[in-house]
């Protein structure tokens, strides 16, 4: 988009925004009522162009399906032949199949629309003086945005206040260099904060924004095509060519044999309808879309449909500790300060429940931990420090709400500590002298304080003791600085060590059980954290992530010492990665992928984006994650919970299973349908299937392949199987052979039924007998394909309301065709006694015996070829 003119710095500020409501203040923002009124007045914050499909679009798309063209052609032919009733019925069936397709497509579109609403950018705004996370579409002019590093700006705005704000405007300008933003400068919708934080007032939304005016330049971006869809497109093309060739052959053969070319054309149309696998495209749209909707009910948002295919193949799940395995509900549990009279120092366990008093020796530690934090924090650790101070230091001189923050030194990959420089209130300190507070990783604080080796060793013992209890340990330091010429780096302050804080973050409920489910499913769980190794190891053991061997823990410093091949070797056994910087996650992903693993990786920060993009399944945090991480990921955890990932893996396996079952059924059911349309003509028998019969079968096949199989619950062993090979085609080996053998089995039964019926029934009655057997064989295929492993009598106990609705309606329609005279005549059926109908139905259903035998054969073959143990990682 380099051709787009760069917006001027004051473009947003100069836009004619609606006047601010009475009582508006920058520190309180809009009231809920004012925002609702403005939303109603101005409309939602949408960019031009709605990619959702309307009803008319779906109708036009559906009418382009070859099946509808064939139905229309058959109807017109019947009208030309003077058979007005059958022609009218066929044209009426066009409307019925269209309605059924619209129902399925409409349900799919509703599910996709719900996903689009969930995946729309979120915005943090001030409403009634409180911070509120809302959908980006609900942002209105006058809203005060609260922005931080990693956020995407949801609307054009003017910066009210900010600290070191840098914005990536490449979406608009094409320039990759971040732009510094000062107070009163413009921020543009769609641009990205890559540094700093601040607040901004919205001046324009939707089409009135800078990006809205050029929104048409963003249209036409095609969605990615999943490997499965590419595979199915090749299969459909192949079958379409087969259908065309077979139909032309049948037309020629029938015309030459019987001399009736119009009848030959009808037979050719019937065969084309029997062979065309148009259901594949329906299934590949409906099942993944509704599956993604089901995933959202499990608090997992699907941003890329292709991830659903890969989810069930995941072999390594890399999960952040804080907030994913733990509750991200930090509480200061232990304090440590050095003591001159005691070389080991003083340690204090914090008890909030009882009315304990905080000893004076620990006051400074709590004071400087708060000064090293934001005044209005959103980080759980900093909130914990503020709660500690409010609980124990209320009314003392150690809380400084009237001090001013004058300089910040952010945490960097080189120094895992941050520093704040404060100016005291007038009259509280020497003129020009500032207080400096730093907090961070203990080793970084030791480095800032320039401690000697014996002192570091002694303090390291205190760190190890806290970490062994599963506490997250931070160090605190303080310094004083005179003047306004700030050092370039925080190392240049003369810091003195203050103490250590141990924070407790309990495991989320159900995490050990979720980890055990992963192990049973052949998925190795790797915990990644910036915490101290001993802390990480204690949490890993509580979560049942195995760390019994020394080689199963890898630190960031260890990684730096390894080349890529050595790292690949280490990652074969690693279960815990500790003291890991976000940038190192990418190397972890690349090493695991080089080992042949299918990797799912969680992340929430700006620096996590490359790893999320590189992983087979990137999983961003919806609660604490940045917009950058969300956009780089394929999935978003709406509740930031590891257990939701495991539920998503289970559901991903279910979705893929149901896709495979549905497509196996489609392939199988087309074999007898095409065979019954083709073989009688080649053998010189009367024609058994006409276009009307095929249309009837489509009324059963369409809802069965999508609605019935989409509703199938998970197989009982879905989380006891090893991960599948994502490169393996959907139809290969035993799956393809089983589907074809199932279809051939039904074909043999149906043709056998015709041969038998032809000995004592008229041609029309024999046709009715054969059609009944075919319809019931179709139902038998549906019931048998519900499970690829469980016997039929077991799967019958598994509830599926859609199955029984489809089966019941099929039987009712079949009875209507057999015993309603007008319909019976249309189908060219002769009278069939109830006993004969029951016999035909029984013959069709008896093909289940053949299906169950194939299931036993396939199950045995799978056991013989299974090479991955259920509880271990993939080789």
DSSP 8-state assignment for residue 675? H
Closest CA to 229 of 184, 186, 285, 269: 285
H or E segment at 816?
Answer: helix 801-819
- b/e per residue 783-798 (b: at least 16 CB within 10 A): bbbbbbbbebeebeee
Length of the chain: 875
Give catalytic status of residue 320 as yes or no.
Answer: yes
Q: Are 529 and 322 within 8 A, CB to CB?
A: yes
Query: What 3 state SS string does 110-129 have?
Result: HHHHHHHHHHCCEEEEEECC
Two tokens at 814? Answer: 């079949």
Backbone dihedral angles phi then psi of residue 642, each to the nearest 5 degrees: -60, -40
Backbone dihedral angles phi then psi of residue 135, each to the nearest 5 degrees: -70, 145
Q: Is 832 exposed, middle or buried (0-12, 13-18, 19+ CB in 10 A)?
A: buried
> Please, what is the Cα angle at 455 between 453 and 459, to 5 degrees?
115
Q: How far apart are CA 656 and CA 667, in angstroms?
A: 16
Q: Side by side, which strands form the sheet with 496-504?
A: 346-349, 331-337, 496-504, 472-482, 433-440, 417-423, 404-409
Q: Is 222 exposed, middle or buried (0-12, 13-18, 19+ CB in 10 A)?
A: exposed
Integer CA distances (angstroms), 470 to 69, 326, 537, 619, in order: 67, 11, 8, 25
Q: Side by side, which strands form the sheet with 599-603?
A: 300-302, 635-637, 617-621, 599-603, 316-320, 524-528, 576-578, 553-555
- b/e per residue 160-176 (b: at least 16 CB within 10 A): eebeebbbbbbbbbeee
Closest CA to 739 of 661, 806, 659: 661
Q: Which of 320, 447, 608, 657 is catalytic?
A: 320
Closest CA to 197 of 162, 230, 222: 162
Is the alpha carbon torsion for 793, 798, 803, 807 positive or negative? Answer: positive
DSSP 8-state assignment for residue 361? G
Tokens 């063209």, residue located: 69
Two tokens at 610? Answer: 């490359």
Q: Are 761 and 822 within 8 A, CB to CB?
A: no
Backbone dihedral angles phi then psi of residue 289, each to the nearest 5 degrees: -65, -45
Backbone dihedral angles phi then psi of residue 701, each to the nearest 5 degrees: -65, -45
Tokens 């295919």, residue located: 309
Two tokens at 111? Answer: 């599910």
Q: How far apart are CA 285 and CA 108, in angstroms?
A: 7
Q: Which residues contact 196 (CB under 8 A, 6 or more apart)?
A: 149, 162, 163, 164, 165, 166
Query: Beta strand 186-187 with 156-168: parallel, antiparallel or unpaired?
Result: antiparallel
Q: Which residues contact 396 (CB under 8 A, 6 or more apart)?
A: 363
Q: In angstroms, how far apart are the furthest CA atoms of the chain?
A: 115
Reported as half-sphere exposure (CB side, CA atoms, 13 A), residue 645 has a value of 33
Two tokens at 575? Answer: 């279960």
Catalytic residue numbers, as ranges = 320
């Amino acid at each position: 988009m380099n051709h787009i003119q760069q917006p001027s710095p004051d473009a947003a500020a100069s836009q004619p925004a609606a006047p601010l409501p009475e009582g508006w203040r920058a520190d309180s923002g809009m009231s809920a009522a004012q925002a609702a009124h403005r939303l109603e007045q101005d409309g939602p914050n949408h960019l031009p162009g709605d990619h959702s499909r309307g009803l008319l679009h779906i109708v036009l798309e559906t009418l382009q399906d070859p099946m509808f063209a064939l139905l229309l052609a058959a109807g017109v032919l019947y009208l030309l032949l003077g058979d007005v009733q059958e022609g009218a019925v066929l044209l009426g069936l066009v409307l019925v199949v269209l309605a059924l397709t619209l129902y399925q497509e409409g349900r799919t579109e509703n599910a996709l629309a719900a996903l689009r609403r969930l995946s729309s950018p979120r915005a943090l705004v001030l409403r009634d003086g409180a911070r509120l996370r809302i959908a980006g579409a609900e942002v209105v002019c006058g809203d005060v945005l609260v922005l931080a590093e990693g956020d995407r700006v949801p609307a054009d705005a003017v910066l009210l206040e900010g600290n070191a704000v840098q914005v990536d405007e490449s979406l608009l300008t094409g320039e990759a260099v971040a732009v510094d933003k000062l107070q009163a400068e413009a921020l543009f919708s769609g641009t990205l904060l890559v540094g700093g934080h601040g607040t901004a007032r919205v001046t324009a939304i939707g089409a009135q924004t800078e990006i809205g005016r050029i929104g048409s330049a963003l249209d036409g971006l095609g969605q990615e095509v999943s490997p499965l869809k590419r595979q199915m497109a090749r299969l459909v093309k192949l079958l379409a060519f087969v259908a065309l060739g077979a139909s032309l052959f049948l037309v020629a053969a029938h015309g030459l044999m019987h001399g009736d070319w119009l009848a030959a054309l009808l037979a050719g149309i019937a065969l084309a309808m029997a062979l065309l696998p148009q259901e594949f495209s329906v299934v590949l749209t409906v099942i993944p879309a509704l599956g993604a909707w089901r995933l959202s009910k499990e608090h997992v948002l699907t941003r890329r449909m292709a991830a659903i295919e890969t989810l069930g193949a995941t072999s390594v799940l890399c999960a952040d500790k804080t907030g994913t395995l733990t509750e991200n509900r930090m509480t200061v549990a232990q304090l440590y300060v050095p003591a001159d009279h005691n070389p080991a120092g003083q340690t204090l366990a914090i008890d909030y429940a009882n009315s304990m008093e905080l000893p004076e020796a620990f006051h400074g530690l709590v004071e400087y931990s708060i000064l090293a934090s934001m005044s209005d924090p959103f980080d759980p650790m900093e909130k914990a420090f503020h709660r500690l101070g409010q609980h124990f230091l209320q009314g003392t001189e150690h809380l400084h709400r009237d001090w001013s923050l004058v300089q910040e030194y952010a945490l960097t990959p080189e120094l895992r500590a941050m520093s704040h420089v404060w100016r005291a209130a007038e009259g509280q300190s020497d003129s020009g002298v500032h207080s400096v507070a730093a907090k961070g990783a203990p080793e970084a604080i030791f480095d800032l304080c320039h401690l000697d080796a014996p002192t570091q060793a002694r303090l390291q013992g205190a760190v190890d003791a806290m970490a062994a209890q599963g506490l997250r340990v931070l160090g605190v330091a303080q310094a004083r600085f005179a003047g306004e010429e700030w050092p370039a780096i925080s190392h240049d302050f003369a810091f003195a060590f203050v103490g250590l804080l141990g924070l407790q973050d309990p495991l989320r409920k159900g995490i050990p059980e979720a980890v055990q489910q992963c192990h049973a499913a052949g998925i190795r769980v790797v915990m990644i954290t910036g915490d101290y190794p001993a802390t990480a190891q204690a949490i890993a053991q509580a979560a049942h992530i195995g760390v019994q061997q020394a080689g199963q823990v890898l630190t960031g410093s260890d990684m730096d010492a390894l080349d890529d091949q050595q790292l690949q070797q280490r990652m074969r056994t690693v279960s815990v990665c500790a003291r890991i910087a976000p940038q190192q996650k990418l190397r972890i992903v690349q090493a695991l992928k080089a080992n042949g693993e299918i990797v799912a990786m969680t992340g929430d920060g700006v620096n996590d984006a490359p790893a999320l993009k590189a992983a087979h399944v990137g999983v961003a945090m919806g609660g604490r994650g940045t917009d950058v991480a969300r956009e780089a990921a394929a999935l978003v955890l709406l509740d930031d919970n590891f257990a939701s990932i495991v539920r998503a893996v289970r559901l991903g396996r279910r979705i893929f299973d149901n896709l495979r079952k549905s497509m196996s059924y489609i392939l199988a059911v087309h074999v007898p349908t095409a065979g019954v349309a083709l073989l009688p003509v080649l053998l010189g028998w009367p024609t058994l299937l006409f276009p009307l019969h095929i249309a009837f079968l489509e009324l059963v096949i369409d809802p069965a392949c999508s609605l019935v199989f989409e509703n199938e619950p998970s197989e009982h062993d879905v989380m006891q199987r090893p991960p599948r090979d994502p490169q393996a085609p959907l139809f290969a080996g035993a799956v393809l052979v089983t589907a074809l053998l199932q279809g051939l089995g039904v074909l043999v039964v149906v043709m056998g039924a015709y041969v038998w019926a032809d000995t004592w029934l008229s041609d029309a009655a024999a046709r009715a007998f054969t059609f009944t057997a075919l319809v019931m064989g179709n139902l038998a295929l549906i019931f048998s394909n519900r499970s690829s492993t469980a016997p039929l009598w077991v799967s019958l106990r598994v509830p599926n309301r859609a199955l029984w609705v489809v089966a019941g309606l099929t039987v009712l329609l079949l009875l209507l065709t057999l015993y309603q005279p007008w319909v019976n005549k249309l189908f060219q059926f002769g009278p069939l006694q109830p006993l004969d109908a029951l016999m035909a139905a029984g013959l069709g259903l008896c093909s289940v015996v053949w299906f169950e035998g194939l299931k036993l054969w396939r199950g045995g073959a799978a056991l013989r070829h299974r090479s991955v143990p259920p509880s271990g990682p993939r080789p």
